Amino acid sequence: MVRRIGSASCNFPAKAVFGLSVAVALSGCTSDSGPSLAAASPETSSAYASAGTATDSLRLVESLPPPINTRDGSDQLLSPNDVLEIDVFQVDDLDRTVQVDSSGQITVPLVGSVAAAGKSVRALEAELESSYGAKYLQSPDITVFVKESAGQKVTVDGEVARAGLYPVTAGSSLLQVLAQAGGFRPVADATQVYLFRDYGNQRLVTNVNVSDIRAGKGTDPRVFGGDTVVVFSSARKVAIQNLKEAFGLASSAARLAVIP
């Protein structure tokens, strides 16, 4: 199956990996350093910059916005399975270490269940102070600390040394995440790195040219928990590697043939 975005095309495998057929396609494509999905022509690039290009539930954009409700990326949102330490100033009996359950709730003394997932730490602190202040405490001062974060992880896939899930912090960048994954494999195309992000009910993706970033010609983008990084392979590098392997096998066979 072939899907086209702008003037570029890729041969997409049928099996879904990320739950999106287009995302699967990107992880399975190879590049020959020719036209990319993000900038096939000046006309297409202009369209991406203004409105993005959509295919199925995936939208290709020039650059990714910070996740929603994060104050332009300054806040990290809580997720199910996060472990939180809640400190109520001068009321030690109310201090708790709690885990956000699968439905996104936490349970605290007196107040009971409180929705936590999808909120920033500041928003949760404000909600707890309001709940305790309404019935139980006068001007409560509550601090929430994320002890363990399940949601602040990035998936790195494709042509990297160690594909997998990697933790990120408030200042993590794409190059830092790629370094955590052991860097590129020999057949990777540094101009064809794709960064995916959920944005409301949309799935956004952008093409990042890591070669330009390393040369000081581009900005190293921030990454956030829940992002996915996919590194394409270079068709030219794959072909060269295959030739080397074939030449090595042929040489070995020739050496064996002359042994008396």
- CATH number for position 156: 3.10.560.10
The boundaries of the domain holding residue 26 are 2-68+152-241
Residue 212: predicted pLDDT? 96
Phi then psi for 125, rounded to 5 degrees?
-60, -45
Quick one: tokens of 224?
A: 């956030």
Residue 33 and residue 160 in one domain: yes
Per DSSP, 84 falls in state E
H or E element in which residue 152 lies: none
Walk along the chain (260 residues) and give the pLDDT tens digit of each residue: 333 333 333 433 333 333 334 443 444 445 554 434 433 333 333 333 333 455 557 899 999 999 888 887 778 889 999 999 999 999 999 999 999 999 999 999 999 999 999 899 999 999 999 999 999 999 999 999 999 888 899 999 999 999 999 999 888 999 999 999 999 999 999 999 999 999 988 999 999 999 999 999 999 999 999 999 999 998 888 888 778 777 765 555 555 455 55
Q: Which of 93, 123, 148 is the last residue of a domain?
A: 148
Here the CATH number for the domain that contains residue 132 is: 3.30.1950.10
Residue 184 covered by a domain: yes
Q: Which of 94, 118, 148 is the last residue of a domain?
A: 148
Residue 52 covered by a domain: yes
Residue 135 and residue 170 in one domain: no
Residue 230 covered by a domain: yes
Residue 141 and residue 156 in one domain: no
Residue 162 and residue 58 in one domain: yes
Residue 137 and residue 195 in one domain: no
Residue 241: predicted pLDDT? 78
Residue 9: predicted pLDDT? 36
Residue 156 and residue 236 in one domain: yes
Closest CA relative to residue 142, chosen from 150, 133, 151: 133
Residue 255 covered by a domain: no
Residue 12 and residue 127 in one domain: no
Residue 187 and residue 119 in one domain: no
Closest CA relative to residue 79, chosen from 123, 116, 127: 116
Whether the pTM exceeds 0.75: the reply is: no
Count each helix (H run) and each strand (E run) in the chain, helices first: 6, 15
Residue 48: predicted pLDDT? 33
Q: Which of 123, 148, 173 is the last residue of a domain?
A: 148
d(CA 185, CA 5): 26
Q: Per the structure, how many domains does the chain have?
A: 2
